[in-house]
């Protein structure tokens, strides 16, 4: 008497055909490019914590600033005294290689500096916000950083070139 194979799949076969491809697809989505948008009334609620970078002109004159990452150019902006440039993004979660930098021009001075990377992220906070915030104050004697934007919380991190 010949034994016929049964016409059903084992639980392992279902796992291999459905679950593993689903996990692979999720990993591709999570490790994909950094999501970024300038803050112009766009409010997105998502599962991942967003980072907000704020560059504030605390100079007596207009400041030209251009910020970008490998994938996203925030553009060239002219900030008047007291104005700020803010953008939000979701950093790469697993490989932690998100990097944003800014190039600032003030008169005959300029500075190029990182405004977000995995080391700076440690100092960014969610103080009074749903986002992780990194605040940069551009001043006549250098570029200052704060994670909270509280008075007295800024520390000089960069000098003008």
Q: What is the pLDDT along the chain (161 residues), one digit of tens a residue?
A: 555 555 555 555 555 555 555 554 444 444 444 444 444 333 444 457 799 999 999 999 999 999 999 999 999 999 999 999 999 999 877 777 899 999 999 999 999 999 999 999 989 988 777 788 999 999 999 999 999 999 999 999 999 99
Instruction: Please give the C-alpha separations between residue 71 and each of 19, 37, 126, 146, 161, in angstroms, as whole numbers.
Output: 31, 12, 25, 25, 26
The pLDDT value given to residue 142: 98
Secondary structure letter of residue 118 according to DSSP: T
The pLDDT value given to residue 21: 57
The pLDDT value given to residue 13: 56
Cα separation of the two ends of the chain: 89
Distance CA(87)–CA(71), nearest Å, equals 14
The pLDDT value given to residue 152: 93
- Give the position of tokens 């930098």: 101
Secondary structure letter of residue 147 according to DSSP: S
Secondary structure letter of residue 152 according to DSSP: T
Rounded to 10 degrees, the C-alpha dihedral 107/115/88/31 comes to: 140
**20: enclosing H helix or E strand:** helix 20-31
Secondary structure letter of residue 125 according to DSSP: B
């Amino acid at each position: 008497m010949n034994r016929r194979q049964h016409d059903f799949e084992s639980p392992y076969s279902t796992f291999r055909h459905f679950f593993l491809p689903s996990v692979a697809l999720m990993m591709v989505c999570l490790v994909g490019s950094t999501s970024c948008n300038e803050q112009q009334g766009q409010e997105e609620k998502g599962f991942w914590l967003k980072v907000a970078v704020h560059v504030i002109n605390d100079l007596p004159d207009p400041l030209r600033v251009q910020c970008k990452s490998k994938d996203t150019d925030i553009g060239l902006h002219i900030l008047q005294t007291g104005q700020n440039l803010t953008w939000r993004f979701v950093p790469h979660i697993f490989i932690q290689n998100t990097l944003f930098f800014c190039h600032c021009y003030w008169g005959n001075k300029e500075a190029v500096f990182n405004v977000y990377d995995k080391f700076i992220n440690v100092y960014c906070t969610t103080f009074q916000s749903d986002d992780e915030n990194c605040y940069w104050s551009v001043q006549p004697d250098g570029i200052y950083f704060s994670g909270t934007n509280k008075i007295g919380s800024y520390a000089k991190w960069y000098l003008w070139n």
